[in-house]
Amino acid sequence: MLSLKFIQENPDLVVERLAVKQFDAREIVDQVLDLYRKRNETQNEVDSRKAEMNKLSKEIGMLFKSGKTDEANAAKARTAELKESIKEMDQEFDRIDEELMNLQVQLPNIPSPLVPEGKTDEDNLVVEEGGVKPELGENAKPHWDLAEQYDLINFELGVKITGAGFPVYKGWGARLQRALINFFLDQARENGYTEVQPPYVVNEASGFGTGQLPDKEGQMYHATADNLYLIPTAEVPVTNIFRDVIVDAKEFPIKYTAYSACFRREAGSYGKDVRGLNRLHQFDKVEVVQIAHPDKSYEVLDEMVGYVKSLVEKLELPFRVLRLCGGDISFTSALTYDFEVWSAAQERWLEVSSVSNFESFQANRLKLRYREEGQKKPQIAHTLNGSALALPRIVAAILENYQTADGIRVPKVLVPYMGTEIMN
């Protein structure tokens, strides 16, 4: 979240930059400034009364010793009044602090100057395209028909067991999932990421730390009996490893990777865009997370974008990279690049990765700091994460782009993991 000090010192900048995200921050910023002023006034008054109380406390004994009983008793009575008023003002200070926090968490992250102007995903900027779109011919099938034809994925069985958006992978379909997960994890390790296996449910503090809570869109599954949340991405538990931690600057770059199942309610999703694997409530994903020095975080972002690009290139899938506009970028991100792969049978682009720099936004919530050698006061770190990669639409693109009359060809890099060159 944005720090109170930053908001107080840069109110007009906050309003101006958040307008790029199509967010009108003026009312909230004005309320923050007003409460910030009241809090300072309250603190100053508390300090003044404490000083008076301390002065009187020292005088009371001397007054009694001097025989000035009436003055001593009056000083005692005044001290009691001051103590009670300070208690009330401390309560008011806590109330103001709580109100300030409620306002702070409503403000999105400040977008980077690199974020394009725009209101919807149609305004995103295509920064790169790669690969060759396959020519499949008139008989090409979408992945949901191919999944049924070769018994790879059973969508109806998932509906029976749980509901729509929870498919059952079978045979070669299940092996393709496992092959992709292992391939992505192996690639991450080779690129310096430490693999971790995190929990799939997190507490409220973890959800708040990475910005999923408060959940304004109602997209998280909530286990109410224990007040735990199913993770929407491994970013949440992995980044929270560093909650309330001060890292040594010598440890940079800090690079973690994790495979997890991901759970999203996808409230409000409907129509053709949700058919098959296009949009699910449960899906698998390999995530990469980095904790970076603020001076290096945009270099790290470029490196992470290059890494994700290498994955789609090795899978030989046509892709494009988009820099998200202000109206499409997430609440927590300062700058995001999306990767999309071409779905040949659907003749549309499918998002398979988001790579984001959150700058200090998450770290402020997490109280994640670093300390330079010889530095007494720790500083706020920067956090970044990326999908590397999300499986459902990668699987959809592989099934469609690699389909032949004899079955589904397996991308060359996955053959050692699959033990076959074709799924049929």
Residue with the two structure tokens 């980044």: 239
* pLDDT per position as a tens digit, 24-57: 999 999 999 999 999 999 999 999 999 999 999 8
Q: What is the mean pLDDT of the chain?
A: 95
pLDDT confidence of residue 269: 58
User: Has residue 271 got a pLDDT over 90?
Assistant: no
User: Has residue 374 got a pLDDT over 90?
Assistant: no
Q: Distance between alpha carbon 153 and the CA centroid of its chain, in Å?
A: 30
* pLDDT per position as a tens digit, 71-107: 888 988 999 999 999 999 999 999 999 999 999 999 9
What CATH number does domain 4-104 carry, 1.10.287.610, 3.40.50.1100, 1.10.287.40, 3.40.50.300?
1.10.287.40
Q: Which residues are documented as binding site for L-serine?
A: 233, 264, 287, 385
* Stretch(es) of the chain classified as CATH 3.30.930.10: 121-423
Write down how long the chain is.
424
Count the neighbouring beta carbons within 10 Å of the beta carbon of residue 392. 23
370 and 381 Cβ atoms separated by less than 8 Å: yes
Report the alpha-carbon distance of residue 242 to residue 251 in Å, rounded. Answer: 13
pTM for this one? 0.92
* Stretch(es) of the chain classified as CATH 1.10.287.40: 4-104
The one-letter amino acid code at 50 reads K
* pLDDT per position as a tens digit, 189-230: 999 999 999 999 999 999 999 999 998 788 999 999 999 999
Q: Does the domain at residues 121-423 carry the CATH identifier 1.10.490.10?
A: no
Q: Which residues are documented as binding site?
A: 233, 264-266, 287, 351-354, 385
The stretch 292-307 carries a mean pLDDT of 98
pLDDT confidence of residue 268: 57
Q: Which residues are documented as binding site for ATP?
A: 264-266, 351-354
Residue 207's closest CA among 241, 231, 223, 242? 231
The stretch 334-350 carries a mean pLDDT of 96
User: Has residue 270 got a pLDDT over 60?
Assistant: no
341 and 352 Cβ atoms separated by less than 8 Å: yes
> pLDDT confidence of 390, banded at 50, 70, 90?
very high
> pLDDT confidence of 286, banded at 50, 70, 90?
very high
pLDDT confidence of residue 338: 98
